[in-house]
Amino acid sequence: MNYKHTLTGDQLRLVFNGDLIGENNGPELVELVNNTLSKGAKYCLIDIADVRYINSSGIGVLITILTKFRNKGGELFLIQPSEHVKKLLIITKLQAIFNIVDTEEQALSKIK
């Protein structure tokens, strides 16, 4: 999986592309999150529109990131998941835990 990140004020924006397999990118993503939290990040917006597949350790990485932001009084938003990823979140009942939105604008409106 490839990803890009930007930190603007208190918002970390991640854009994922490809398969989210935790073993491949997990430690690197967690380190990035730790660094941005120490710089004052409070919200994480993850665009997963181009994620085709997520394995169990990939889900674990998302939960870890969510927990880290919530422990700092912040929130994580999953933006525009594909139908396949939406089904996975429903089957695992994780749609009740994550804030899932269709657009970045929807996430930003929930922050304010």
Per the CB < 8 A criterion, the answer to whether 93 and 84 are in contact is no
The Cα 45–Cα 41 span in angstroms is 11
Domain count, the chain: 1
- pLDDT by residue for the chain (112 residues), tens only, comes to 999 999 999 999 999 999 998 888 999 999 999 999 999 999 999 999 999 999 999 999 999 999 999 999 999 999 999 999 999 999 999 999 999 999 999 999 999 7
Query: Hey, what are 87's tokens?
Result: 């089904």
Domain that holds residue 96: 2-111
Residue 72 tokens read as 């700092």
As a whole number of angstroms, the distance between CA 61 and CA 58 comes to 5
Residue 22 belongs to a domain with what CATH number? 3.30.750.24
